[in-house]
Amino acid sequence: MPLTRDFTPRLMPAPQAAHYLGVSESTLRTIDLPRKTVGAKKMYDKFDLDQWVDTLPYDNEQPENVW
């Protein structure tokens, strides 16, 4: 079966992680997100990205104090 890119990989480099979140790379780098090291590459975990998005408030909603 040929490999296709119709799925989101678990680990993503900064450009792909920024695209996944819908933000610029410079904005991504201002967010305090952990990165995992694979060889010499720093990668963002999809689960960490999703968890960060889940903490964002909806319009007209007060942000939750997660910590």
User: 48 in a domain, yes or no?
Assistant: yes
Q: How many domains in the chain?
A: 1
Q: Within a domain: residue 26?
A: yes
* pLDDT for the residue 3: 63
Q: Does 42 fall in a domain?
A: yes
**Residue 49 is part of which domain span?**
11-54
Residue-by-residue pLDDT tens, the chain, 67 positions: 566 667 889 999 999 999 999 999 999 999 999 999 999 999 999 999 999 999 999 887 776 665 5
> According to the model, what pLDDT value does residue 5 have?
66
What sign results for the dihedral spanned by CA atoms 32, 33, 39, 41?
Answer: negative
Whether 35 maps to a domain, the answer reads yes
pLDDT at residue number 26? 96
Tokens of 61: 């909603």
